[in-house]
Structure formats: structure tokens, C-alpha cells
Amino acid sequence: MASKHSISRRSFLKAVGAGSAAVAAAGVLSACGGSSSSTASSAASTAASSAPATTELAAEQVLNLIYTDLSLIDVNDVRNANEFEVLTAVQEGLFRTFTDENGVDVTENAGCESYDVSDDGLTYTFHLREGMKWSDDQPVTAQNYVDSWLRLVNPDLAFSYAFLAYGIVGAEDYCENGGKLEDVAVEYVDDLTFKATLIAPDPAFIKKVGMVCFYPVRKDLIDAAEAAGGNWTNDYTLHVFNGPFYISDRVLENNMTLKKNEKYWNADEITLTQINLRVVDESSTKAQLMESQQIDVLTLTDYEYVTRWENKVADGTFQYFSKAEPSVTYLVIDQHPAGNGGPSGLMLSPKCRKAMALAMDRDEFNLMFKEGLVTPAYGLIPYGITVGEDEFRAAHEEPLASEDTSPEALKALFEEGMAEAGVSGSASDVTLTTFLYNANAENMSQQEWYKQQLEDKLGVHVQIDTYPDVSTWKTARDSYQYDFYSMGWNGDYNDPMTFMELFVTGNGYAKFMGGYSNPEYDSMVEQAGASQDDAERMELFGKAEALLMEEGGCIPLYYDNSQMYAQSYVSGLSMPMFGAEYEFSRVKILAH
């Protein structure tokens, strides 16, 4: 007998100093029959402000925000944080993520009323909420979801997140290997029911399909727009909306207006009538707008304001939130066999790589470059990531946290690796090469810090190469002209797999991640991916992370934290660890 479930409820590649980033969403699975669930963790948002002085609502329910203009509004093609934020507000998928009063992610049923899972864990049948409508009064149907999921893996469209659907029978073959569309096991049953069949059980499947790229689409409108030569990708006038808000106006590179969608299934619970989004580039201007109440919520990128605004938090003018992100920044090391160990010839040596990893003083980096506001990383998996209901970091000490980091020990370890690699001489004979293209003052300062750490601790020399643009940088990367460079990853969904799979041999992101390869690691990650036993998965992921760190598969530096401020009169703002950075649908503007 199949089990029945309901849910109560951010890939993203960060090229640090070398590119841009995107973000993604997922949720938390509840027990059978429940309507809500949450996952406790040390990573929940923490607020340093008192409760609002009033619960009386302001006459005008308008929220004013900063945003980066969107390059697309196609849910299947979503890539960047700003796109996730807006699309989550104006569209509705199977589930929606909020945060509770403790800042913990809570995932609730949205477009999905419930779902069934077959006893073998392979077939998921989704039952949609009755009465849902698009903003043009057409019903939201199961066919809209089927069209979306099949479109996501269309090889001609090459969507960034197609790989998240590869667990579905036929999806990867269709997208990558010339397979047939009709063999992709996503099936319409009736207007309120559709199902998907997996190749193997996937404990993270529900977390994946809550993401924006799996939201429903209107194929009739897409086809009509394309036939007429319209810009479906980014012209809001061609779209319809089924979320709490809709896009009512937009001036490219300037502003966007969202208004309450009265046709939304839960419109009675939406208090905001309008959200004003404006493009502002300078961090000092953003701060001035916040101080003058012209914007209502701000995520800081200039950490100096954390100190400057302490008095505003203390007197209740601002609410302050520090939120752990599902994000790790690290140094990628060239382990591709074709790269022959990088320019140094040593990066295929686990001992050389581990010595480099242990040479980094992460606390010093945090203080010098992050004002002490990020979390030093001694493992791959950030705080707040869970297996079932248990936090991974609570179960596993960070592998590099208790290692000997004396320069003598590190130099000896590095030179052992040299000898095993057949490279003669001492560490002082070695030159390691790092590179970047966005050579601004901050990025160059960080590169100089890496150089100092490795030269002081290991006795090597470090060469910093710079490139004029991303194209030349990518060419150098793809021809293995580096020993290491800075990179990062934001998890797609709340499971260690979203980080662990990056280092599996042959993974599609291998060229970004240095090409680490170990059959033992691959086997443990594969077993964890298929297991339905949370305790077994927790153990396997822990062993795999420990192996990756022991072999210096990458050099973790820090887990990101966000510093967020809201005006005292903003109530009900959610800041999920997974999902859009901000969830606005329950916001209320209090009298002020």
C-alpha cells in the first residue's frame, strides 16, 4: 500500500572573485499525514530586536525593497537569486517555504494538497489543490506541471537545473543522450493528478521538486509567444501568474511593481497590496535609503554598517537578523588527470593538497575580510543542513578542525607528498599558481592572503595570474593553467547530497570543482543517495566528507552568513535557509 504525505513546509555556483551566482530552493519532509514540519538547527535566523510595539496595521500595505533587475522570468530557466526571489512571489509550485518564530524553515503544501509514494519508493503521485487559477482565470492543472517537468529536460532548451530531474526514468537519457520524450516518466492522470517514476529511490526528491524550476507553466502561452516572435524569457506582459502577487509594471534596469493577486488560492491571507522593487547599485545609497525609511528590508554587503547600526537595533528602529546560508566557499584544486597536477605538477598528491588545506588560518581570514561575520569552515557541509530531522554538523565534527597546523608539520606533510609524486627538491623549489579575472582591490587582497598563508606555512612560492575577462579566465581554467582558485557553492536543497555530489567522479560540475576522483567516495555517496534509512545516510555522508577532507579534495574556507535588517514596522517577514532569500507573502506593515 502506498503511503500518503502532505508537507508543511536555495545550484548555485559562486565564482568568488571570478564570476556571478545563482540560488535555488527546497523544503523539509513531514511525517505522513501531517500538515506542517520544521527542522531545528543551529543555523536558524537570529533576531537582535524586541517585539513590535503595536499590532495595528498601517493604512497602506506597501513594501519597498532593493533588487537586481532580472534577466529572465521563465521558471524553468531560473538561475539567479534575484530571479528566485521574484518568481517565488508571483508563481506557486507544489510547496512554499516560510520561517517560524524561531527562524526555522517550515515547508507547507501550496499547489499540492498531498502526494502518495509507492511502497518501493519509486512512484510519486501528486494531488493538486482544487480551485487554483492563473491570473487570466484559467485553472491550474496537472498538465501544467507535466508540461513544465518535460520542458525542464528538453535538450534544445538546455536549462541549468535540468539535472535535478535526472532521477526520473528517461529524463537524463532524453536530455543528454538523444532519448525519446515519450520515455520520460512524468504522466498526466487527470486535471488534479500527475505522477513521476524514479530510476531508484531518492530521499531528497520531494525537496528538489519544490524548487522554482519545477513550478507549473502555461505551454499554450509559451507556444503562442514563440510563434509570434515574443520574448517569453523576460517579457512579463506575455506571462500569467498563480502566486500571491503578479507583475503589474516594470522598467528595465530601474524598477518593478508587484501587486496582490486576488485570484490566488490563499488571497485572504495576503495583507500586502503592493511590493515596490528598485535597482540601487551603491551600498552607501542603499544604507541611506534604509535610514530614511525609503526601503524596508536590506541585506548588507558592506559589513561596516553592522557596527554603525547597533544603536538603531538597540532603540528598536531596525530589526536585525543574522542568517546562516547553505553556502560554502573553498579553494578548488586542479586534480584533473589531464592537468597533470597543475603547473606545479603536485596537485594530484593528496598530502600536498591536505597540507595546503591546513595552512589556511580561517579565523584570521574571517576577521580580515568578513568582519568576523561568517563561520570558518573545516568541512564541506554547512551548518543547518539536515539528514531527516537531524543536523549533519551536530552529528559530525568538522574533519579539519582538530588537525596539527604547525608550519613544521605542514611543510613536512607537503614534502612527503612531493616525494610520493616523484618531484625532487624541497617546498622552496615549488611555485603554486592561482588566478582570477575580477582583480578588484578586495579580490586581490584575498589572493595575496592565500599567497602569504601558503608561503609562510609551507615554504612554497605562489604566483597570482590575472585575466582581463571571464572568457580568457575560463579558457585558462579549462586548459588547467592553475593549481588552485577560489570558488563556492550554495546548496540547491536541504540535504548533504547537494554538496557531496559535486565531487563524484564524472559529475557535470567536475570542471568547476577540480576533478576530485575516488571510487570509495563515489560508492559511499551513491549508497547514501539510494538509502531510505536516515541513520545509514548520515553515517555514509560523514565518512565521505571525512575522506574528501583527508585527501584535500577541496580547501573549505568559510560558511556564509547573511546580515539582514528590517524596519521595525515590518512584521511577518520570512527568511528561509532554503527558498527565496525573502518570502513576502505573510508580511504586514504595522502602524508607524
User: Which residue(s) pair with 8 in the sheet?
Assistant: 108
- For residues 162 and 558, what is the distance between their CA atoms, to the nearest angstrom? 28
Q: pLDDT class for 110, splitting at 50, 70, 90? A: very high
Residue 359: per-residue pLDDT = 98
Give mean pLDDT, residues 281-306: 92
Count of beta carbons in the 10 Å neighbourhood of residue 466: 15
Percent of the chain with pLDDT strictly greater than 70 = 91
Q: Is the pLDDT of residue 41 over 50?
A: no
Count of beta carbons in the 10 Å neighbourhood of residue 179: 16
Lowest mean pLDDT among 7-11, 437-441, 546-550, 553-557: 7-11
Give mean pLDDT, residues 7-14: 41
Give mean pLDDT, residues 175-185: 97
Torsion of CA 483, 487, 492, 494, to 10 degrees: 90
Q: Is the pLDDT of residue 200 over 70?
A: yes
CA neighbor of 532 nearest in space, from 126, 206, 214, 165: 206
Residue 118: per-residue pLDDT = 97
Residue 53: per-residue pLDDT = 67
Q: pLDDT class for 490, splitting at 50, 70, 90? A: confident
Give mean pLDDT, residues 46-70: 82
User: Which residue(s) pair with 249 in the sheet?
Assistant: 257
Q: pLDDT class for 103, splitting at 50, 70, 90? A: confident
Q: Is the pLDDT of residue 331 over 70?
A: yes
Percent of the chain with pLDDT strictly greater than 90 = 79
Q: pLDDT class for 512, splitting at 50, 70, 90? A: confident
Q: Summarize pLDDT for 154-179 with one digit per residue, the tens.
A: 999 999 899 899 999 999 999 999 99
Q: Is the pLDDT of residue 14 over 70?
A: no
Give mean pLDDT, residues 465-472: 92
For residue 21, give the C-alpha cell: 551566482
Residue 43: per-residue pLDDT = 45
- For residues 119 and 201, what is the distance between their CA atoms, to the nearest angstrom? 10
Count of beta carbons in the 10 Å neighbourhood of residue 404: 10
Q: Is the pLDDT of residue 333 over 90?
A: yes
Annotate 473-509 with DSSP letters as a single string: HHHHHHTT--SEEEEEEE-SSSSTHHHHGGGSTT-TT
Average pLDDT of the residues of the chain: 90
Q: pLDDT class for 46, splitting at 50, 70, 90? A: low
This prediction has a pTM of 0.83
Give mean pLDDT, residues 413-433: 96
Give mean pLDDT, residues 498-505: 94
Q: pLDDT class for 51, splitting at 50, 70, 90? A: low
Residue 146: per-residue pLDDT = 98
Q: Summarize pLDDT for 271-290 with one digit per residue, the tens.
A: 999 999 999 989 899 999 99
